[in-house]
Amino acid sequence: MEGDSDAYAHTAQVAAAIHPYVHYIHVRLKQKGALELLALTRSMVNLGVPLQKIAVNDRVDVALLTSVGAIQLPANGLPVAAVKSLLSEGTRCGVSVHSLEEAQAAEWAGAHYVLYGHVYETHCKPGVTPRGIAQLKRISRLVSIPVIALGGIQPRHIPELYTAGASGIAVRSGIWEAESPVAAVMAYRRMADRVAHRLHW
Q: What is the CATH number of the domain that holds 121?
A: 3.20.20.70
Query: Across the chain, where does the E strand assignment appear?
Result: 25-27, 54-57, 70-73, 92-97, 113-117, 147-150, 168-170
Which one of the listed residues 118, 123, 197, 200 is annotated catalytic?
Answer: 118
181 neighbors 17 (Cβ within 8 angstroms): yes
Residue 180 and residue 110 share a domain: yes
Residue 159 and residue 118 share a domain: yes
Residue 200 lies in a domain: yes
Confidence label for 198 from pLDDT (cuts 50, 70 and 90): confident
**Domain end (from 68, 86, 117):** 68
Nearest to 80 by CA among 54, 39, 51, 109: 109
Confidence (pLDDT) at 3: 42
Determine the structural domain holding residue 149 and report its residue range: 97-201
Confidence label for 2 from pLDDT (cuts 50, 70 and 90): very low
Interval 73-89: pLDDT, tens: 999 999 999 999 999 98
Q: Indicate if 26 belongs to the active site.
A: no
Q: Is 125 helix (H, G, I), strand (E, B) or coil?
A: coil
Residue 119 and residue 25 share a domain: no
Q: Looking at the predicted structure, is the pLDDT value of residue 33 above 50?
A: yes
Q: Please confirm whether the linkage preceding 98 is cis (ω < 30° from 0).
A: no
C-alpha distances (whole Å) from 105 to each of 27, 132, 170 are: 24, 20, 21
